[in-house]
Amino acid sequence: MADTRTIKVEALARVEGEGSLHVKVKDGLIKELHFGIFEPPRFFEAFLRGRDFREVPDITARICGICPIAYLMGASQAMEDILGITVTKPIRDLRRLIYCGEWIESHALHVYMLHAPDFLGLADALELAKVDRALVENALRLKKVGNEILETIGGRAIHPVALKVGGFYKLPTKKQVRALEEELKWAVETSIATVKLVGGFDFPDIEQDYNFMALRHPDEYAIHEGRLVTSSGLDFPVSQFLDHVEEEHVPWSNALHGKPKDGGNHHVGPLARYNLNYDKLGKTAQAAAKAAGLGPVVRNPFQSIVVRAVELVQVCEDALKLVQGYEESDRAYIEAPVRAGEGHGCTEAPRGICYHRYRIDADGSVLDARIVPPTAQNQKVIELDLWKVVQANLTKSDDEIKWRAEQAIRNYDPCISCATHFLKLQIEHG
Amino acid sequence: MSERKRPKLAVWKFSSCDGCQLTMLDCEDELLALTEEVRISYFLEATRKVEKGPYDVSLVEGSITTPHDIKAIREVRKQSKVLISIGACATAGGIQALRNFRNVKEFIRCVYAHPEYIDTLTTSTAISDHVPVDFELRGCPVNKYQMLEVLNAALNGRKPNIPRHSQCMECKESGTVCRMVATGTACLGPVTQAGCGTLCPGKDRGCYGCFGPMEAPNTAALAARLSQLGQSGRDIRRLFHTYNANSDAFRKEGDNHG
């Protein structure tokens, strides 16, 4: 009789939303592996139909409490694409600043509270606090710097209210923005120390030949603007996203799988951005990466925690410069008459590219909505990583395999709430 | 305080964006002190450690949208001495309750290629529609200071100090200019429960009702005023039917327009 084993993780922890893993092993080989998403569907694309185009940024923000800016901004850009609006430089800069805030909050949360405990063999950041309270206090302070940027510009950290199609309802005063300066100086130094800390963790020896996809911008480390590029050599405007990416519906997941139309898989998020845009990182971030032993190419998914920390350095420094250069502008937003049309928006959410496409009627009603969040696109590569990780650890106990597999999933900082708009671990040794 | 004496706290998630439970982790200045007072026994977003119930206090985020949810929330209720629902999803069904007004089969076909893989109810409903709830904390998302107040009250066996009056009171108290009076902007403030900290009026826009209806709201009078200000029936319906669309007062008023 064949030796069979089933390993299940019913509800993954320290991820945003509800996911699972199911692995079936027979005679020492994996027969089946599904990274499932059981978070119930919420049907955003459906109920957006008939809503006014101006409501879409605030409504789509409710897809995700961790990265509302990715939705507020992607939706706003798509509507601006339809109306022919180009925002002014001060509005563009303020958008980048609030987006830096979201990256700082999200990356600090993930690096310290959600991911680092795995590398230290601890269940959570509270256990970490028992070992090193000052470290967790610093992590929380760093996270708070991000939230303070969001609150200063947006009114609140989760589902900020000041953003709209064309810009902002109201701009913050110079005094309010400049008040962020001192904490951001501290945050730059703390992020550099974070890279050093997480760079010293032990990483499982695994390298994957990923096809990365990220936004790329000629003048900056792309966050909220750019063309889409891949490591396979594609380079196309955001408006052609759906010419290159399709969504597949699989029975074990409430999140559609986003994948390249020409076959294979693509990987989005910090690792993709780092590999495709290393040359656009500032000197401080590059130096921090180098000091932690990272070259311009990183293909070990477990090192994503170091890359996330390098990105923290980048966005803290970017935010500091934007804060120091902020002047009050006379226009909070740009308006244009409503017209029918189709528009696209795409930004780098902390977890990777988040794409929006809308069609609206002449009266501004939404006719059709399509949103492709980052975690949906990463489901396939997460499964590919899990095949390798689980296979390499099959001699270990179920509990050890589970933990290692969870860690591999957390490499992606999966946001399941986003993907169902999008997880459970089951390993079946059968 | 000894491990044995700390009350056990559980944080549960149903259909939602995770924003309300994230509010807990956003208590950067209070989180470590809080965990000295309570023992986090179940909180998947924060820890892989899971302790069995019963729990002294459960915070529940999200709405009920699947047959499995109904079973799960009954079990949570059974295991919890105090159950507090947090946020617009848990207290009114959330934005995803917009399905309640439409044909869900059509919705599934609109998003998914294989509708047969999807197991969902035709409605998105509040936690209190399924089990008795000890306190409902409003907001999309909840306000962190209100959440700490509700937790504090539950741990000390007292009633939480959460006002049920309208957003207008908060605007007046903070000296914020009335958007509706000064600029004719559509605003749900007169019928929406206070608690956000005058966010939208403070940013020169009308309140969009994310804290849900106040106690005894006069929605008809507000709708009439909105109409005088030039809002179409469709706009008025959309305004009421958004983040708290399935709360009684907002659902009924919205149904009268459009």
Cβ contact B203–A170 (<8 Å): yes
Q: Which chain B residues touch A126 with a CB distance below 8 Å?
A: 32, 35, 40, 46-47
Cβ contact A41–B111 (<8 Å): yes
The pTM score is 0.94
Note whether residue B171 is domain-resident: yes
Could you list the residue range(s) of the whole structural domain that residue B59 is in?
A: 8-155
Is residue B137 within a helix (H) or strand (E), and if so which, with residue range?
strand B135-137
Size of interface A-B (CB pairs under 8 A): 176
d(CA B48, CA B35): 16
Window 127-186 of B, Cβ < 8 Å to A: 140-141
B15 interfaces chain A, CB cutoff of 8 Å: yes
CB A234 within 8 A of CB A244: yes
Residues B186 and B218 in one domain: yes
- The first and second tokens of residue A20, run together, are 């699972």
Q: Which chain B residues touch A136 with a CB distance below 8 Å?
A: 32
Locate the DSSP E strands across B62-120: 80-86
Which of these three, B97, B122, B155, is where a domain ends?
B155
Note whether residue B126 is domain-resident: yes
Residue A376: strand, helix, or coil? helix
B95 interfaces chain A, CB cutoff of 8 Å: yes
B99 interfaces chain A, CB cutoff of 8 Å: yes
Could you list the residue range(s) of the whole structural domain that residue A314 is in?
A: 44-243+258-375
Note whether residue B191 is domain-resident: yes
Distance from CA of B18 to the nearest CA of A (A): 5
Q: Which of A14, A59, A126 sits opposite B95 (nearest CB)?
A: A59
Strands A4-9 and A19-26: antiparallel
d(CA B61, CA B84): 9
Note whether residue B161 is domain-resident: no
Q: Which of A39, A136, A155 sits opposite B32 (nearest CB)?
A: A136
Domain count for chain B: 2
Cβ contact A126–B114 (<8 Å): no
Residue A11: strand, helix, or coil? coil
B40 interfaces chain A, CB cutoff of 8 Å: yes
Could you report the per-residue pLDDT of B33-58, keeping only the tens digit for each?
999 999 999 998 888 888 999 999 99
Residues B199 and B114 in one domain: no
Residues B193 and B149 in one domain: no
- The first and second tokens of residue A227, run together, are 């063309």
Cβ contact B96–A42 (<8 Å): yes
Nearest to B25 by CA among A112, A375, A63, A159: A112
A163 interfaces chain B, CB cutoff of 8 Å: no
pLDDT given for residue B236 in this prediction: 97
pLDDT given for residue A185 in this prediction: 98
Note whether residue B162 is domain-resident: no
Is residue A202 within a helix (H) or strand (E), and if so which, with residue range?
none
Distance from CA of A143 to the nearest CA of B (A): 8
Window 60-99 of A, Cβ < 8 Å to B: 62-66, 68
Catalogue the long-range contacts made by B26-30 (C-beta closer than 8 Å, 24 or more residues apart).
B26/A143, B26/A147, B26/A157, B26/A158, B26/B144, B27/B144, B27/B147, B27/B148, B28/A140, B28/A141, B28/A143, B28/A144, B28/A147, B29/A140, B29/A144, B30/B148
A23 interfaces chain B, CB cutoff of 8 Å: no
Note whether residue B2 is domain-resident: no
pLDDT tens digits in sequence order for chain A, 430 residues long: 457 888 777 767 666 666 788 888 888 889 988 887 766 778 888 889 999 999 999 999 999 999 999 999 999 999 999 999 999 999 999 999 999 999 999 999 999 999 999 999 998 898 999 999 999 999 999 999 999 999 999 999 999 999 999 999 999 999 999 999 999 999 999 999 999 999 999 999 999 999 999 999 999 999 999 999 999 999 999 999 999 988 777 766 666 677 788 778 899 999 999 999 999 999 999 999 999 999 999 999 999 999 999 999 999 999 999 999 999 999 999 999 999 999 999 999 999 999 999 999 999 999 999 998 898 888 889 989 999 999 999 899 888 888 888 889 889 887 765 555 433 334 444 4
B106 interfaces chain A, CB cutoff of 8 Å: yes
Q: Which chain A residue's Cα is nearest to B258? A: A50
Residues B99 and B137 in one domain: yes
Share of chain A above pLDDT 70, in %: 92
Q: Which of A40, A123, A248 sits opposite B65 (nearest CB)?
A: A40
pLDDT given for residue B120 in this prediction: 74
Residues B186 and B85 in one domain: no
pLDDT given for residue A108 in this prediction: 96
A110 interfaces chain B, CB cutoff of 8 Å: no
CA atoms within 13 A on the CB side of A196: 9
Domain count for chain A: 1
- The first and second tokens of residue B221, run together, are 């009078």
Note whether residue A152 is domain-resident: yes
Nearest to B131 by CA among B78, B189, B190: B78
Which of these three, B155, B180, B196, is where a domain ends?
B155
Cβ contact A62–B17 (<8 Å): yes
Q: Which chain A residues touch B18 with a CB distance below 8 Å?
A: 16-17, 64-66, 415, 417
Cβ contact A47–B95 (<8 Å): yes
- CATH number for B82: 3.40.50.700
Note whether residue A30 is domain-resident: no
d(CA A289, CA A271): 13
Note whether residue B200 is domain-resident: yes
Number of residues that make up chain A: 430
Could you report the per-residue pLDDT of B90-110, keeping only the tens digit for each?
999 999 999 888 776 666 666
Q: Which chain B residues touch A169 with a CB distance below 8 Å?
A: 200, 203-205
A387 interfaces chain B, CB cutoff of 8 Å: no
- The first and second tokens of residue A350, run together, are 């902390």
Share of chain B above pLDDT 70, in %: 92
- The first and second tokens of residue A388, run together, are 């390798």
Q: Judge if ipTM > 0.90.
A: yes
Q: Which chain B residues touch A16 with a CB distance below 8 Å?
A: 18, 22, 45
Note whether residue A413 is domain-resident: no
- CATH number for A148: 1.10.645.10
**CA distances in angstroms from A388 to A19, A201, A207, A253, B87, listed in the order given:** 19, 20, 10, 21, 40
Residues B146 and B174 in one domain: no
Could you report the per-residue pLDDT of B158-187, keeping only the tens digit for each?
999 999 999 999 999 999 999 999 999 999
What lies within 8 Å, CB to CB, of A246 at 6+ separation is: A258, A259, A260, A261
B118 interfaces chain A, CB cutoff of 8 Å: yes
Distance from CA of B136 to the nearest CA of A (A): 19
